[in-house]
Chains A and B, each alone.
Chain A
């Protein structure tokens, strides 16, 4: 028997898409029956009360969580999001309902034994409700009480060799696409770079020392499956410098509409778009028109290719990424607050991704950017906003990079150009009396 009536939420149990309401109800029942004999460390009816408070929000059209909440574990300045219900008498099971961020393995591969360990811990000490996963990447444990935080952390670190993720004005939990593990487009091992940098910068992740939050994301090619260009302050996007590899026999199979060579690997299979037409679907859609198909031979003028991935995506069996691989680094992406949304802007067109020297060049660049932003960034100013305020040129200066045409979509249209004094012969210190000798008042 459910603890609270939920007429609004009940209507979200129908329909084909997996219903979060059905799942929450199932969990409420599992806790009430407690067939596993768990000695629950937070109220047994926490999930019933969660359903109750969300139902009340559906009635009021307003949230019922109090503002903010500052809780955590000793030694760290983040990792836990405190939350308290604003109707604790009605819903005592969620009076405390804190979220813990658990650092996820790169690529989000799991074994069931590991997941079962985590669920046993969370059933005992939390609500048994999770997010798989938070937008930044963490495993989210949704709902526990303050006294349980240290207990959970102790168990995570001692028994499961597992740390918390990040929150607050610090390096947040990095995330990646699945990269080389199951994709032929991967230009570098995004999982290894993600894992390495997460460990390299553990201090910056757990103890907020920044003006505001900072995120890394790692896409192994320009398809951007983890959306690094939009969702990380520093975005690492795989690319290559040499020729796209062309298998002419395989191209011929696509042109012949061989069933084993469907366009775009079969992504459009459920609609009749007519037979594959290489001119229409590849050659004419190339953004730089650097491709030709003549005499049954496909050629690509590599020097004019911008590596957008379209031809490779469309004919994955015939076209392959080049062998001289690395990544581009873009910086400054953020959501609108405060000065407007930004995507990452290109800073380093090509960077080596070398695990053998512990990604030295990448770490060196990160350190230079952080040195600048930590000193100059205002309170709650994202890197993208600091770049806007002090100028892209300043970013080039602190990272010791030379300005390149690749740094702009187009050159400036206004002529409000700053010059440094030492760039101008004679400097800025002038005597108006000297000027007047030749130009009478």
Chain B
């Protein structure tokens, strides 16, 4: 492959450099009907799962078809999205905050051809390229992270766990039968990039073994004070240690009984790796939300302390999620989010109806705020 210059001159790197121009302006990309009716919408309706109409005060209408996206996608796939948008939507398309794809048309008669086109497209392996859904009281796309595709600190994979879960709950992506919308999120370590701490159900990669210490290299590669300060439970202290050949080096020690395997020291210090085949796996959380509707925003709570990584389809994880979704669907009132339901019936009943084991791992023991999570009342259900 021959090198092709863009015009950049490596000998004069600052010459002709353009900086600080930011993103392109949003309104360059608006479809005509959006530009015309912006800020003047009257109301909307979900016509069927995945299909919305917004009606302007002017009487104009815009129909939106929402499709699932894998988030991780090739330029070939993006070009296919462009082909569809060129054919049906005058070359306009948008993406949602949950990484779904939205195609918009300005009249109802353009809707069926667009939907039929989207439904007809499948990958060679058989999966839908553009499944229609993700609206109203159902399950929409899973906000997720990099996993083994690109990150150095994960305890599980993101794209794989998400594909396995969406296959399991696919019917709820294409229908609106739940009491309220149910948001699932995924993060491959407890840095929790994304929305794990505030979702109805959340998949979280977790380690269960303290880091290994690469004493020979640690002081050469790490700022020791940063590794010490990175620990939420103060399990790490600086030490001097002797290598096999008798050389004394600066390093750290990890007090194993204080380590809860968060991996933050590895983030700061490459000589403290902790990934492990059997040790690593999945934590499930539940009951979080971000909207202010009826109840206040809530954090998700840990409801399953550990499930093993079972590549490539994580069956224990998907079955547990399905059980939780079913129990919620059967038990919750209309408009009740997952966390609102769990709080109404009480967490002791929640574990009953979801058939989940309650273990000591689920009781908070992190600092003062742990006290507030214990039960200071005689009110409970047997």
Is A110's CB under 8 angstroms from B29's CB?
yes
Is A266's CB under 8 angstroms from B262's CB?
no
- A338-B312 in contact given A23-B76, A266-B47 (Cβ < 8 Å): no
List A contacts of B290 (CB < 8 A).
Answer: 224, 227, 229-231
List A contacts of B26 (CB < 8 A).
Answer: 105-107, 109, 181, 191-192, 195
Of all chain B residues, the one with the shortest Cβ separation from A318 is B43
Of all chain A residues, the one with the shortest Cβ separation from B174 is A16
In the assembly, what is the distance between CA of A58 and CA of B149, in Å? 11
In the assembly, what is the distance between CA of A380 and CA of B149, in Å? 26
Is A17's CB under 8 angstroms from B22's CB?
no
List A contacts of B69 (CB < 8 A).
Answer: 18, 132
In the assembly, what is the distance between CA of A227 and CA of B197, in Å? 11
Tell me whether A357 is interfacial, beta carbon within 8 Å. no
How many A-B pairs have beta carbons closer than 8 Å: the answer is: 448
Tell me whether A358 is interfacial, beta carbon within 8 Å. no
Residue from the list B21, B28, B276 in contact with A62, Cβ < 8 A: B276
Q: Tell which of B238-246, B292-300, B354-362 binds the partner.
A: B292-300
- A107-B275 in contact given A39-B1, A309-B293 (Cβ < 8 Å): no
Contact residues on A (Cβ < 8 Å of other chain), bracket: 35 or more
Tell me whether B377 is interfacial, beta carbon within 8 Å. no
Is B312's CB under 8 angstroms from A128's CB?
no
Is B91's CB under 8 angstroms from A230's CB?
no
Tell me whether B74 is interfacial, beta carbon within 8 Å. yes
Residue from the list A41, A109, A270, A379 in contact with B92, Cβ < 8 A: A109
List B contacts of A76 (CB < 8 A).
Answer: 19
Tell me whether B280 is interfacial, beta carbon within 8 Å. yes
List A contacts of B48 (CB < 8 A).
Answer: 269
Tell me whether A262 is interfacial, beta carbon within 8 Å. yes
Is B42's CB under 8 angstroms from A184's CB?
yes
Of all chain B residues, the one with the shortest Cβ separation from A54 is B148
Main secondary structure of the interface of B (DSSP, over half): loop
List which B177-223 residues lie within 8 A (CB) of chain A.
177-178, 181, 190-198
- A17-B127 in contact given A108-B96, A135-B195, A202-B22 (Cβ < 8 Å): yes
List A contacts of B150 (CB < 8 A).
Answer: 65, 83, 97, 99, 142-143
Smallest Cβ distance from B308 to chain A, in angstroms? 9
List A contacts of B153 (CB < 8 A).
Answer: 63
Q: Tell which of B108-116, B130-138, B250-258, B345-353 binds the partner.
A: B130-138
Tell me whether A336 is interfacial, beta carbon within 8 Å. yes
- A132-B71 in contact given A75-B17, A337-B190 (Cβ < 8 Å): yes
Is A309's CB under 8 angstroms from B292's CB?
yes
Tell me whether A182 is interfacial, beta carbon within 8 Å. yes
Is B13's CB under 8 angstroms from A74's CB?
yes
Smallest Cβ distance from B153 to chain A, in angstroms? 8
List A contacts of B4 (CB < 8 A).
Answer: 39, 41, 124
List A contacts of B127 (CB < 8 A).
Answer: 13-19, 22
Smallest Cβ distance from B360 to chain A, in angstroms? 20
List A contacts of B136 (CB < 8 A).
Answer: 264-269
In the assembly, what is the distance between CA of A343 and CA of B366, in Å? 18
Is A66's CB under 8 angstroms from B152's CB?
yes
List B contacts of A286 (CB < 8 A).
Answer: 294
In the assembly, what is the distance between CA of A387 and CA of B178, in Å? 39
Tell me whether B85 is interfacial, beta carbon within 8 Å. yes
Is B29's CB under 8 angstroms from A229's CB?
no
In the assembly, what is the distance between CA of A18 and CA of B21, in Å? 35
List B contacts of A150 (CB < 8 A).
Answer: 8, 10, 13
In the assembly, what is the distance between CA of A147 and CA of B148, in Å? 24
Tell me whether B313 is interfacial, beta carbon within 8 Å. yes
A-B contact pairs, 27 of them (CB 8 A): A9-B312, A26-B123, A26-B124, A63-B148, A109-B29, A111-B29, A114-B24, A115-B81, A128-B75, A132-B101, A154-B7, A180-B39, A184-B44, A195-B22, A202-B21, A206-B20, A229-B297, A230-B195, A230-B197, A265-B45, A267-B135, A270-B176, A316-B43, A335-B197, A338-B264, A343-B299, A380-B230
> Which chain A residues have a beta carbon within 8 Å of chain B's beta carbons?
8-9, 11-27, 30, 39-41, 44, 47, 50, 53-54, 57-68, 74-76, 83, 97, 99, 103-116, 118-119, 122-124, 128-133, 135, 142-143, 147, 150-155, 157-158, 160-163, 175, 177-178, 180-184, 186, 189, 191-192, 195, 198-199, 202-203, 206, 222-227, 229-231, 237, 260, 262, 264-271, 273, 281, 285-287, 306-310, 313-314, 316-317, 335-341, 343, 379-380
Instruction: List 5 other contacts, CB 8 Å, given A83-B150, A223-B293, A270-B177.
Output: A74-B14, A105-B25, A154-B8, A281-B334, A340-B366
> Which chain B residues have a beta carbon within 8 Å of chain A's beta carbons?
1-8, 10, 13-14, 16-31, 34, 38-39, 41-49, 54, 62, 64, 68-79, 81-82, 85-86, 91-97, 99, 101, 104, 123-131, 135-138, 143, 145, 147-154, 157, 159-160, 163-164, 166-167, 170, 173, 175-178, 181, 190-198, 226, 229-230, 232, 262, 264, 266, 270, 273, 275-278, 280, 290-295, 297, 299, 309, 311-313, 334-335, 366-367, 369
